[in-house]
């Protein structure tokens, strides 16, 4: 079995890379910015693909996530892609800081494209997720929520109305891009998201995100340990 994580930020991946002692395969994706870490866990190959950096900061967002996912699938042929990272969530849905969710759907919330129904539907995405996601969440005791993706950290009123209309719960900047690429290859995709900020909590998002990033990445690492055990023992 080959499990491949696609992760945007070093902070999100580092606790996890250190926990498994997996090593960087230098230059694997050159000249692309994405980075590969690889090792073995319980007889499975564990890959972690990071989006990489530009100008000294992590390449968050859809473009880099698409490049990383495409490269990962074409070069590594994983059995499953896991998009692990942080997200905003809603206090009104009962979310708490550093709580880890499993995705039960994925779409874009900032693609406002007028036209017929087919055009609008295509823009929103709503890509398939790995069919075992619900069973995994139930067995390991994680809540589930719908991931919605946009290109900004902040949330404009028009984003919120699309999120509410479609039952979005976990707001990120990569999920749907990863899901789009996985849908092209029919590669199963599992979402693991830890909450750094509450979109309806009244705090300034970047300040709240920065304050909680470390804590959220620790719970994310613990969740991923459980998930890797679960996947490799099946
Ligand atoms: N300059 C910041 C950028 C972080 S962007 C830094 O380097 O620390 C936020 C990242 O966390 C993205 O990868 C996104 O997927 C996720 N994220 C966390 N909270 C989010 C929110 N409320 N909205 C959108 N993305 C969020």
Is the distance from CB of 192 to CB of 102 less than 8 angstroms?
Answer: yes
What was the pLDDT predicted at 116? 79
How far is it, in rounded angstroms, from Cα 201 to Cα 211?
14
Domain assignment of residue 11, given as a range: 2-232
Classify burial at 158, counting beta carbons within 10 Å of its beta carbon; exposed 0-12, middle 13-18, buried 19 or more: exposed
Please identify which residue in the block is written with the tokens 């942080």.
86
Classify burial at 10, counting beta carbons within 10 Å of its beta carbon; exposed 0-12, middle 13-18, buried 19 or more: middle
DSSP string, 67-136: HHHHHHHHHH--SEEEEEEEEEE-GGGT--TT-EEEEEEEEESS----SSHHHHHHHH--B---TTHHHH
What was the pLDDT predicted at 121? 87
Going from the Cα of 169 to the center of ligand 1, the distance in angstroms, rounded, reads 15
Asked whether the whole model's pTM tops 0.95, one would answer yes
Going from the Cα of 9 to the center of ligand 1, the distance in angstroms, rounded, reads 9
Q: Is the CB of 159 under 6 A from ligand 1?
A: no
CA atoms within a 13 Å half-sphere pointing along the CA-CB vector of 140: 23
CA atoms within a 13 Å half-sphere pointing along the CA-CB vector of 27: 0
Q: Is the CB of 4 under 6 A from ligand 1?
A: no
What was the pLDDT predicted at 54? 96
Going from the Cα of 26 to the center of ligand 1, the distance in angstroms, rounded, reads 26
Tokens of 100: 């880890």
Tell me the CATH number at 68.
3.40.50.1580
Pocket of ligand 1, candidates 173, 175, 191, 200: which has the most ligand atoms within 8 Å of its Cβ, to mutate? 173
How far is it, in rounded angstroms, from Cα 209 to Cα 160?
18
Which phi and psi (to 5°) does residue 57 adopt? -130, 155
Q: Is the CB of 57 under 6 A from ligand 1?
A: yes
Please identify which residue in the block is written with the tokens 């809603």.
90
pLDDT tens digits, the chain, 234 residues: what are they?
A: 999 999 999 999 999 999 999 999 999 999 999 999 999 999 999 999 999 999 999 999 999 999 999 999 999 999 999 999 999 999 999 999 999 999 999 999 999 988 878 888 889 999 999 999 999 999 999 999 999 999 999 999 999 999 999 999 999 999 999 999 999 999 999 999 999 999 999 999 999 999 999 999 999 999 999 999 999 997
Query: Residue 53 carries which DSSP code?
Result: E
What was the pLDDT predicted at 114? 84
What was the pLDDT predicted at 33? 97
Task: Indicate the number of domains in the chain.
Answer: 1
Pocket of ligand 1, candidates 85, 101, 172: which has the most ligand atoms within 8 Å of its Cβ, to mutate? 172
Is the distance from CB of 125 to CB of 165 less than 8 angstroms?
Answer: no
């Amino acid at each position: 079995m080959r499990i491949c994580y696609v992760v945007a930020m070093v902070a999100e991946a580092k606790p996890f890379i250190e926990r498994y002692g997996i090593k960087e395969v230098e230059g694997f994706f050159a000249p692309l910015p994405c980075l590969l870490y690889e090792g073995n866990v319980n007889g499975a190959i564990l890959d972690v693909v990071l989006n990489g950096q530009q100008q000294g900061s992590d390449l968050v967002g859809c473009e880099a996530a698409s490049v990383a996912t495409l490269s990962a699938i074409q070069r590594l042929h994983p059995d499953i892609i896991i998009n692990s990272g942080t997200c905003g969530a809603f206090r009104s849905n009962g979310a708490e800081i550093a709580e880890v969710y499993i995705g039960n759907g994925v779409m874009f919330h900032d693609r406002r494209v007028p036209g017929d129904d087919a055009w609008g539907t295509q823009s929103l995405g709503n890509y398939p997720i790995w069919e075992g996601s619900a069973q995994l969440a139930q067995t390991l005791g994680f809540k589930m929520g719908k991931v919605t993706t946009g290109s900004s950290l902040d949330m404009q009123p028009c984003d919120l109305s699309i999120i509410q209309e479609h039952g979005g719960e976990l707001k990120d900047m990569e999920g749907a891009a990863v899901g789009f690429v996985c849908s092209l290859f029919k590669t199963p995709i599992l979402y693991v998201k830890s909450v750094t900020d509450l979109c309806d909590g009244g705090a300034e998002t970047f300040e709240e995100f920065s304050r909680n990033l470390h804590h959220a990445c620790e719970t994310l690492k613990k969740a991923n340990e459980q998930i890797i055990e679960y996947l490799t023992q099946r």
